[in-house]
A and B are shown apart, each in its own frame.
Chain A
Amino acid sequence: MNKQLMRGSHVIAEAATRAGCRFYAGYPITPQNELPEYMSARFADLPDATFIQAESELAAINMVMGASMTGVRAMTSSSSPGISLKQEGISYMAGMELPAVVANIMRGGPGLGNIAPTQQDYFQATRGGGHGGYRTIVLAPCSGQELVTLTMKAFDLADTYRMPVILLGDGLMGQMMEPVSFPDPIDPADLPKKEWVLSGARGRDSRLIASLQLDPVKMEERNWKLVRKYDTISQHETDFESYLLDDAQLVIVAFGTAARIAKGAVNRVRGEGLPAGLFRPITLWPFPANPLRSLAASIKQILVFEMNTGQMIEDVKMSVGDISPVHFHGRPGGVIPTPVEVAEVITGLMR
């Protein structure tokens, strides 16, 4: 298959288009501006596609909400502060059970922070992010080719489970170029028909898509219904990568860009004869808790490495309990740690 050297943000945009996405609304924010820029050009050639540069992140996510109500595959993207603004809409879509894909190309925080790559929105992404207690599926790609597969998968998951799916990258993923290849585009007309969309009440009763439910008993039912859906997702959709785990005594747990760096570190210490391996969650929610727990029984220690001050480590600790000691190495603020730095941490723990 023909490979192209492409920037991560462009890869997401192209993959989304090939997944049948035909609506994009967004607002400029570094480091993901190349994504809407690409979309604006790409959609200009597609008569059935709409690109809107919205007046705000709020407007953008709500436009996506409206588009999703019509059944069109819709997405928005932003970076950390902009994602905070979108949380209102994401919560509503979780409540209304509307599919959408939201890409977060994370940067430093809190607040305005900076534009350097971090993983400081792990909590926000994996805990729902907005009000009301809900979940979004969170996918964490770590390479250009995985940006293709996970972006396309995000649309499928969003439609299958009727919920927002977060594609969680960072500034480095968004800016980095790697050779990628794309599958053939999906024709939106070939996608499964959605029976719940707003299309005008022709030959049927009028429809309502709403999250409002004033009756607490019915609202409670709806909450439990969502939980059942989330349980199904947890059972069927967890995904992770194992790297050199067979004989590993120390396992480093890392996702996204940090996992790339961690893999480099594992290779280094392996060169020195130290049996380390990498466990990389690909779905951050649902978190691959059971496989990690099984793994913990056969190793000596776990090192969680994140580009933040320690967020995923809570999920790791919940997964492994007391089975294995869990250490942490973190670099927040947009500092890009080197493989050597992480290798030194591993070496320090193993010797």
Chain B
Amino acid sequence: MSTTKTIFSGFGGQGVLMMGYVLATSAMHENKHVTYLPAYGAEVRGGTANCTITISDDPIASPVASFPDYGVLMNTPSLTKFEGSIRAGGLVFLNDDLVDVRPSRTDIEVVNIPVNTIADGLGSLRSANMVMIGAFVKKTGLVALETVINSVKDIFAAKGADIHERNTAAIREGAAFIEKPIHG
């Protein structure tokens, strides 16, 4: 791997920035070079959120993505906004429960994941972002799944063991979906 750029996007409350933070933290723990670049300010306060994560084996030149390799798009406006900029041959992860249109491009691979449904099935809709990061990491191999689980444990250390178990279950469930997608 040389340098990989991922954009996470959705609306406020979906834990979009947290997904990016988890990925960036995991990359750091694997001694990779990493930048986490959030869109900030009025844009965020207006209800949408996105962040760009660059991971590399070498020092990172630009934290800005011209054409992200991966897009993790949690709602329809995010797809509208970022579909055009994904690198040809890139990969888009869609929240199947909330994205009601499909990319028109044919030169990108699309992974549809019903993260809300899966999270709801685990008893916590709020874990949808953890389901997604689990699926994302399983599919891309950017970092190891266990690194992600450990990072999340650190990040939420103050919230207690229950939360950690819930997050771990969600991450594993997301990864399991990639291994064996359940359509429907």
Contacts and interface: CB of A to CB of B under 8 A. Distances in A.
Given A5-B28, A176-B35, A179-B34, A261 B41 contact: no
Interface string B141-175: 00000000000000000000000000000000000
A265 B66 CA distance: 10
Contact of A171 (B40, B60, B62, B67): B40
Nearest to B45: A30
B42 interface: yes
A226 interface: no
A263 interface: yes
A260 B65 CA distance: 12
A178 B35 contact: yes
Interface in B59-104: 60-67
Contacts of B28: 3, 5, 179
B37 interface: yes
Kindly name the residue among A30, A115, A177, A340 whose own CB sees the greatest number of chain B CB atoms within 10 A.
A177
Nearest to B155: A5
A266 B66 CA distance: 14
B66 A116 contact: no
Among A116, A171, A178, A336, chain B packs the most CB atoms within 10 A around the CB of A178
A339 interface: yes
A302 B25 CA distance: 38
B136 interface: no
A177 B40 contact: no
Interface string A264-289: 11110000000000000000000000
B24 interface: yes
Interface size class of B (residues with CB under 8 A): 20 to 34
Contacts of B24: 5, 177
Interface string A114-132: 1110000000000000000
B40 A267 contact: no
Contacts of A176: 35-38, 63
A339 B3 CA distance: 13
A336 B50 CA distance: 14
A177 to B, nearest CB: 4
A177 B36 CA distance: 5
A23 B64 CA distance: 34
B36 A31 contact: no
A175 interface: yes
A261 B35 contact: no
Contact of A260 (B38, B61, B66): B61
A335 to B, nearest CB: 11
B11 interface: no
Interface string B12-44: 000000000100110010000111111011100
B62 A115 contact: no
B66 A340 contact: yes
A5 B37 contact: no
Nearest to A338: B66
Nearest to B151: A5
A3 B33 CA distance: 11
Interface residues of A, number: 27
Contact of B37 (A175, A266, A338): A175
A221 interface: no
B62 to A, nearest CB: 3
B41 A336 contact: no
Contacts of A21: none
A175 B43 CA distance: 13
Contacts of A116: 41
B64 A5 contact: no
B23 to A, nearest CB: 10
Given A179-B28, A340-B67, A31 B40 contact: yes
B36 A336 contact: no
Question: Taking each of A5, A30, A263, A267, which has the highest tally of chain B beta carbons within 10 Å of its own beta carbon?
Answer: A5
Given A31-B40, A115-B41, A339 B64 contact: yes
B37 to A, nearest CB: 5
A260 B38 CA distance: 16
A264 B62 contact: yes
Nearest to A267: B61
A106 B41 CA distance: 13
22 contacts: A5-B21, A116-B41, A171-B41, A175-B37, A175-B38, A176-B37, A177-B24, A177-B35, A179-B34, A260-B60, A260-B61, A260-B62, A265-B62, A336-B64, A337-B64, A338-B66, A339-B61, A339-B62, A339-B64, A339-B66, A340-B67, A341-B66
Interface of B: 21, 24-25, 28, 33-38, 40-42, 60-67
Interface of A: 3, 5, 30-31, 114-116, 171-172, 175-179, 260-261, 263-267, 336-341
Give the top 3 A-B pairs by smallest Cβ distance, nearest first.
A264-B62, A338-B66, A263-B61
